[in-house]
Amino acid sequence: MPASVGVIIARFQVPELHPGHRFLIDYVLARHPHVLIALGVSGGVRTARYPLTFQEREHMVRQAYPGDQLTIVPLRDHPLSNELWSRDLDAGIQVAFPGVPVTLYGSRQSFIPLYTGVHAVEEVPTSLPHNGTANRESITFPKTSEGRAALIYAQRERPSFMYATSDLAIIDRPNGRVLLIGKNAYGGYLSFAGGHAMKTDTDAAVVAGREGGEELLGVRFGPAMYVGTKTIDDPRYRGTDDGVMTTFFVAEYLGGEPSPGDDANSVHWVGVADLLEKLTPWHRPLGRLLLEHW
C-alpha cells in the first residue's frame, strides 16, 4: 500500500486531456505516491454531455500517464442524494486503499460543495481558463477517416433504442371520415399525424396533441383519447436494431379548414371504408385499431 493517496473526482468528457486536467493530475501526483482517479459515469447511454464511456476515458488518461502511479475506477452518479454518492465514494476508497491516508482534490466548480464524506478535501489553486463543456462544444464536423470511424464505432457499440412516438387520428364521426396527411416521399399513400416524444412533453397524449397541431393547421379538435399502443415497421429504422413503439390516439373534429403544416405536404379527408388502402403500410396496424375503436 502507498503511504498516502490523492483522489481526483472528474469526468474528463473530452477527446484529450486539456491543460487544466493535466495541471490537476500533476498537482496531485507531486503530493502523493499514488493517485486514484474516479471517473463519473451517468449510467445511461451516450449523450452530448456524456459522450464517452468509462473505458474510452480510462484509455485516454493512461495514454497521457502510462506509469503505474494511477488507479482509475468508475464512480456512478447516485440518483437520490449527494450524501449517498459520498458514501459510495468513501466505500470504494476503503476497498481500494484500506487504512491509507486519503485527500480528495478538486478544481473550481468541482464536486467539493457536494461531498459530505469523511476524507479531507483540498481545492487546487488554478486559474487556467479551460472548460470541458466549452471543449466539447468547439468540436466541429469530423473530416478525417479516424473521425468517421469513431462515429461508426459509437453507433455500433450503443444499445438499441425503441423510440417513443404518438400518432393522432382526427375523425369526423358524423360524416364517417378521417383527416390524414400526405408526404411527397410516400408515393400517394397517407398517414396519421404524429411524431417523436420530446423531453418537454408530459405524457403521450400531449405528444399527440402537439403533433396534430403542428402538422394539421387551421383545424380544431377535441382532447386526444387513447386507442392503443403498437410497434410499427417504421422505414427509417428498417435493417437496424432500433424501432418505434407508438401510442395511438383519436380526437373528434370540431371545425376549421385544415392545411398542411410542419413536414406535411398535403392534407386529405378519407372515408372510413377507404382508410386501410390509403394508409402507408406501416400505419395500417393503426388504421385497424381505429376501425375497431370506431
- Structural domains in the chain (count): 2
Average pLDDT over residues 32-41: 96
Instruction: Give the least confident one: 80-89, 103-112, 283-292.
Output: 103-112
Of 142, 157, 172, at which residue does a domain stop?
157
Of 135, 157, 179, at which residue does a domain stop?
157
- Cell numbers for 107: 478544481
Banded pLDDT at 290 (limits 50, 70, 90) = very high
Q: What is the pLDDT of residue 286?
A: 97
**124-134 pLDDT, tens per residue?**
987 555 677 78
Pair (153, 17) in one structural domain: yes
Q: What is the CATH number of the domain that holds 252?
A: 3.90.79.10
Pair (241, 142) in one structural domain: no
Average pLDDT over residues 184-195: 94
Pair (144, 27) in one structural domain: yes
Higher pLDDT, 136 or 189: 189
Q: What is the pLDDT of residue 127?
A: 59
Q: What is the pLDDT of residue 129?
A: 58
Q: What is the pLDDT of residue 169?
A: 98
Pair (191, 243) in one structural domain: yes
For the four alpha carbons of 121, 11, 132 and 58, in that order, the dihedral sign comes to positive
**223-252 pLDDT, tens per residue?**
999 999 999 999 999 999 999 999 999 999
What's at 41, amino acid-wise? V
Q: What is the pLDDT of residue 132?
A: 74
Q: Is residue 23 within 8 Å of residue 54, measured between CB atoms?
A: no
Of 123, 140, 157, at which residue does a domain stop?
157
Pair (248, 287) in one structural domain: yes
Pair (46, 15) in one structural domain: yes
Q: What is the pLDDT of residue 63?
A: 96
Pair (278, 202) in one structural domain: yes
Q: What is the pLDDT of residue 128?
A: 57
**59-107 pLDDT, tens per residue?**
999 999 998 999 999 999 998 999 999 999 999 999 999 999 999 999 7
Pair (146, 53) in one structural domain: yes
Q: pTM for this structure? A: 0.80
What are the contacts of 229-236 at 24+ separation with CB within 8 A? 230/285, 230/286, 230/289, 231/162, 232/282, 232/283, 232/285, 232/286, 233/281, 233/282, 234/163, 234/282, 235/282
Pair (170, 220) in one structural domain: yes
Pair (124, 193) in one structural domain: no
β-bridge mates for residue 221, sequence order: 253
Q: What is the CATH number of the domain that holds 91?
A: 3.40.50.620
| Structural domain boundaries, residue 208 | 162-293
- With vertex at residue 187, the alpha carbon angle to CA 185 and CA 193, rounded to the nearest 5 degrees, is 65
* For residue 113, pLDDT beyond 70: yes
Pair (39, 113) in one structural domain: yes
Pair (166, 216) in one structural domain: yes
